[in-house]
Amino acid sequence: MKDVHFDTSTVHAGGHNNVKSVSKVKPIYQTSAFSFSDLDDLEDYFRGKNDFLYTRMNNPNQDDFARGVAQLEKAPAGVVTSSGISAILVGILSVAQSGDHIVACEDLYGGTYQLLSDDLKSFGIETSFVSFNDVNEIEKSIRPNTKLLYSESVTNPLLRVEDLGALVGLAKKHRLTTMIDNTFATPFVLQPYTQGVDLVVHSATKYLNGHSDVTAGVVVGSEELIAKAKSKMTHLGCNLGPFDAWLASRGLKTLSVRMERHVANAKALAGELNGTKGIKKVYYPEFVSEKGNGAIVTIELDDSSDVHTFFKSLDWVHIVPTLAGVETTVSYPLGTSHRSLPADMCETLGINKNVIRISVGIENAEDIIEVFKKASQTALGL
């Protein structure tokens, strides 16, 4: 720069970095927008010759994470969002609009239930919640204006494993779209898109990032559906910030090794807690895939146990209203994740005051088992 004032030169000191070497690690593009050399260069963006314009629309870090998850799910495309619930929202809005109908499993995450039952209803999209244990019950709920079948690959918090083959078959019969929340299983355990599911969504806040320091979501699927979802993400302002996208991409690199330990520890814990005095029931899937059954174990304490004492006796295991960090944590579904569900629905599903969801971490399995066995004994007054 020549012939500018000092205060102008300080703003532009250093100029642009024309780095010839390629960074081993993806740089953080912590910018709200991208600059252009002239109007022709700007117009090239709208002709598809330049990739980036404004971070609400896309950013190299967002694209990197979306592409990474899509590759792991073996899907053609993906889009990242500001949270898991916003990923669900833009995924649904890529399929449904005012006047349309959704059939969803009744044993959903509470936040998803609230989105479907309240918020989308106010947009003119109606949802029927039914048991997905019986395909006939699902089929009875399908209407002429039904557009989407929605479920979770492993449900929250009681860990029912969805029959994806049956669901996809029913959807094809009625020319419906399927959408599956794969947060609990992760693509390490299960890849629903390869089984014919149209849209797969994750709360990337959980295992994909894996370190409890990012709130993010991602939805993957066909190029056509993801283009629609990306448009909704842009127009609704559901974009993920560049630094969060960078952190999530970094977490994704260790997903496989983390999940190996998570899954092994969960299997060991579930086995040890089965039959333990003070624990009425252990929820843990028998078979999700050859890779394992996930990293969540849900327990129901005996009526003779004091749930408050149980939580207070967990030593280094903390109560956290989320899951999937490297540390073992517990949550209380009735008071957090499923607080928004009607009481009668919680009762029907079996989510009661003694149900506790355990997010099994990557610590030593013997230490995890010991802390829960001791807490169950203390809760009985022993």
Residues 6+ apart with CB under 8 A from 151: 104, 105, 108, 132, 162, 167, 179, 180, 181
pLDDT at 377 over 90: yes
* Res 13: pLDDT: 65
The pLDDT mean for the chain works out to: 94
Helix and strand numbers, DSSP H then E, in the chain: 15, 12
pLDDT tens digit sequence for 90-132: 999 999 999 999 999 999 999 999 999 999 999 999 999 999 9
Q: How confident is the model at residue 24 (pLDDT cuts 50, 70, 90)?
A: confident
Q: Which residues pair with 355 in a beta bridge?
A: 300
Which token pair is 271? Answer: 């086995």
pLDDT at 8 over 80: no
CATH 3.40.640.10 location in the chain: 49-252
Q: Which is more confident, 18 or 208?
A: 208
**Section 150-167 average pLDDT:** 97
Residues 6+ apart with CB under 8 A from 184: 152, 153, 154, 155, 156, 159, 294, 296
- The separation between the first and the last C-alpha atoms of the chain, rounded to the nearest angstrom, is 78
Residue 124 neighbours by CB distance under 10 Å? 11
327: phi then psi, degrees, rounded to nearest 5? -90, 145
Which token pair is 21? Answer: 């070497």
Q: Which CATH architecture has domain 49-252?
A: 3-Layer(aba) Sandwich (3.40)
Q: 255-379: what CATH class?
A: alpha beta
pLDDT tens digit sequence for 186-202: 999 999 999 999 999 99
DSSP percent split of the chain into helix, strand, coil, nearest 5? 40, 15, 45
Which token pair is 37? Answer: 């050399």
Q: Find the angle CA(52)-CA(57)-CA(59) to the nearest 5 degrees.
A: 50
CATH 3.90.1150.10 location in the chain: 255-379
pTM (2 decimals)? Answer: 0.94
CA distances (Å), origin 67, targets 60, 77, 136, 258, 306? 10, 7, 37, 20, 47
* Res 315: pLDDT: 95
